[in-house]
Chain A
């Protein structure tokens, strides 16, 4: 009897171990393909830029920039100033103060000499009530500040949608800075395809980067290892899967930090869902679903050279909070749109994008935790050769680090950013650090994200704010 139990346990461990290895191999293959496609795309774009294959004349598509803000008194003025300095003509800026407890509104009103105005707002998508509206017209473009009752980021964005007057709007974070040419770049897909309903931009951490008039004056990797690790992580993420998914109109995420949307389409899906934490992903999935169901031709694009610089959290606690939020948002979106899972009418967005996000983003922390435990037991009980396990782990770590490094180099080179020798070495070390340490910390964070889930619902994600290095 004991032998039989041992046999079953052994068979289970062997099976689970093999399954885990297959999972890792499939994931590596997918990531590998994504990085290759991403790097190739960036080099091709670079060639296009070298031969000036870009719109020579500047055709300005009018856009409204919506900046939702909650307790952003430290950064909001700089953010608005950077928006006013953009290399673009036809746009308006709408800051929505979501009932901040600090002096976000006061700071803005004083900095730009804004005046109170009684403005009726037509609620086309649901949002909490307006408290006060301020406007000013003596800036380069109209600047509007709406102070409303607290309702969360999605609710603030919905207010912005209701108030904006142009057919396309851009959503961004109040602690981010858009590169000077970012609006020209993000509107390019709209000029090229009339069916574009959304365009995602690239988000890059700006910790320790010097920006002047919306351009990078000095690029260097952050001194803080947590922020530095995120630079590598962001570059890999924005180079790999996003570009690959873009090839078959399968993007499921447009970062809340920088994205362009067609107002009409967003209103048709009811705006941002204020009941989810991942409102950015939810909106994109909603757009896919709406257009597929209603048989509307549509495209959701990714502009690889429209850059938004953002602050990456420098404290582990802040990073953990942020990632928990993201994981819960992912879960809520995947659950809300679970009908997409095997809806083959939706095309590759269902069986590639949705499947990828479900298996390799949502389930991965659980699969990885399970795999590690099973491997450890199998190792202890002598079912696996420890030399093989060690070699496999090392190879896997090295492979991951190489992929990250390839993405990082491809991204910095094609963006014409100069790296010092010190930064190249730092990047190499960080790639290893990320795959051997941070990855496991974040796996733990994501696996335990559901603890206290109800309490965290609909709160703004807060991280410690610092002034951005702007000149």
Chain B
């Protein structure tokens, strides 16, 4: 019985090793074969670009065959590789049409970069509807393939040539069903379309999904939006209350990195009674980046209150205040150096350092009894010294 069991295990292990060897073999063969097929596709792509350059129509048969072929993920993968190489060679000014005139050394003359880009864009515009149409075939497949299809569309900028409402429907479906990677790539794809309403809708779908999308994927991702950024920002601010608190914070973080044109609306939000604290913190950070006179008094007010629940507001405001130089700010920061809270002292000292204060202005603190404020300030001066590599005090 035991022997039989072990024999079975050994048989399975041996078959796994055989699997490993076959896998290795297949991968090597596939890589070799794949290279040949990618080369063939590249040649076919060059032929199509030549047809376009001659102002002729692409044969209908070609589009039908392409659509049929690219329903298969491995073939889509090869097409992607061929298209990537072609795009790169056009970018580098190395691409030559198959029947291009030859130069002195009998090598076909490369196409001027701009001309190549124009033909490629036209080619992509022609094939885009066929490639979007196969979205329904990819929807049913597993998440890996599903994600890859969206990535492919985005990577080659095919979405901008498609009918927005048609592709929007597909992308929204993907967003509602896909895993985290699908969502990430769909959102990126939507940003490339540059439609503010579609983007806001997509964010709402993502917000309502029961999956975690890291704040960075939203806030950093929105910066890649290809359309009118101001129009998107205004729309997102208009619809802000429709989003969850987490999404509101992500949108405000995006606004902070993108534009300082929304100070008045952000101030309203900061002063709003119903605004969540987390959202308010984001608003304060916004004013830490973009100076806005009317916000100063609010920030200063927060910085004066380092007790209880308001401690967090004080902390964030102290960092923001480095953007508001002046006697009052210096006095406020100086006062906070004596706070019993380590982080408040730290932020105050860091802001003082950012404001470029002199060592001489703080002799009272360096000679004083408050060791904690002295240490934290000393650190900031030391740090500036190390950074600037110059002696700023003795």
Contacts and interface: CB of A to CB of B under 8 A. Distances in A.
Interface in B177-233: 180-181, 184-185, 188, 212, 214, 216-217, 220-221, 224
A119 to B, nearest CB: 5
Contacts of A59: 214, 216-217, 220
A392 B13 contact: no
Contact of A53 (B14, B144, B382): B144
A413 B13 contact: no
| Main DSSP-derived SS at the B contact region | helix
Contact of B342 (A36, A55, A57, A122): A122
B379 interface: yes
Contact of B387 (A25, A137, A192): A137
Interface residues of B, number: 47
B6 A51 contact: no
A413 B383 contact: no
A406 B13 contact: yes
Interface in B346-394: 372, 375-376, 378-379, 382-383, 385-387
A402 interface: yes
Nearest to B14: A402
Interface size class of A (residues with CB under 8 A): 35 or more
Given A51-B144, A57-B224, A119 B379 contact: yes
B331 interface: no
Most buried by B among A39, A53, A392, A403: A53
Interface stretch (B64-72, B145-153, B279-287): B145-153
A406 B21 CA distance: 10
A170 B49 CA distance: 50
B139 interface: no
Contacts of B144: 47-48, 51, 53
Contact of B6 (A39, A122, A399, A410): A399
B84 to A, nearest CB: 11
A249 B23 CA distance: 30
Interface in A120-175: 120, 122, 135-137
A237 B27 CA distance: 26
B375 A55 contact: no
Contacts of B386: 115, 117, 135-137
B364 to A, nearest CB: 19
B184 A55 contact: yes
Interface string B1-37: 0110111011011101100100110010000000000
B220 A57 contact: yes
A32 interface: yes
Contact of A191 (B185, B216, B342, B385): B216
A21 interface: yes
Given A117-B379, A120-B375, A399-B9, A54 B23 contact: no
Contact of A413 (B24, B148, B212): B24
Contact of B378 (A118, A136, A391, A396): A118
A410 B6 CA distance: 22
A198 B387 CA distance: 33
B13 A55 contact: no
A87 interface: no
Nearest to B182: A53
B94 interface: no
Nearest to B76: A51
Contact of A57 (B16, B145, B188): B188
Nearest to A54: B181
B73 interface: yes
A414 to B, nearest CB: 10
A47 B181 CA distance: 14
B216 A395 contact: no
B2 A51 contact: no
A61 interface: yes
Contacts of A2: none
A189 to B, nearest CB: 11
Given A53-B147, A135-B386, A395-B6, A410 B20 contact: yes
Contacts of B10: 395, 398-399, 402
A91 B55 CA distance: 53
Given A48-B144, A53-B148, A402-B13, A117 B216 contact: no
B77 interface: yes
18 contacts: A28-B9, A47-B144, A51-B147, A53-B147, A55-B217, A56-B151, A56-B184, A115-B385, A118-B375, A118-B382, A120-B375, A192-B214, A194-B212, A395-B10, A399-B10, A409-B17, A410-B20, A413-B23
Given A51-B148, A406-B20, 9 more contacts: A28-B9, A36-B16, A53-B181, A59-B220, A61-B214, A118-B378, A120-B372, A120-B376, A409-B17
Which 3 pairs show the lowest CB-CB distances between chains A and B? A402-B13, A409-B20, A51-B148
Interface of A: 21, 25, 28-29, 32, 35-36, 39, 43, 47-48, 50-57, 59-61, 115, 117-120, 122, 135-137, 190-194, 391-392, 395-396, 398-399, 402-403, 405-406, 409-410, 413
Interface of B: 2-3, 5-7, 9-10, 12-14, 16-17, 20, 23-24, 27, 73, 77, 143-145, 147-148, 151, 180-181, 184-185, 188, 212, 214, 216-217, 220-221, 224, 342, 372, 375-376, 378-379, 382-383, 385-387
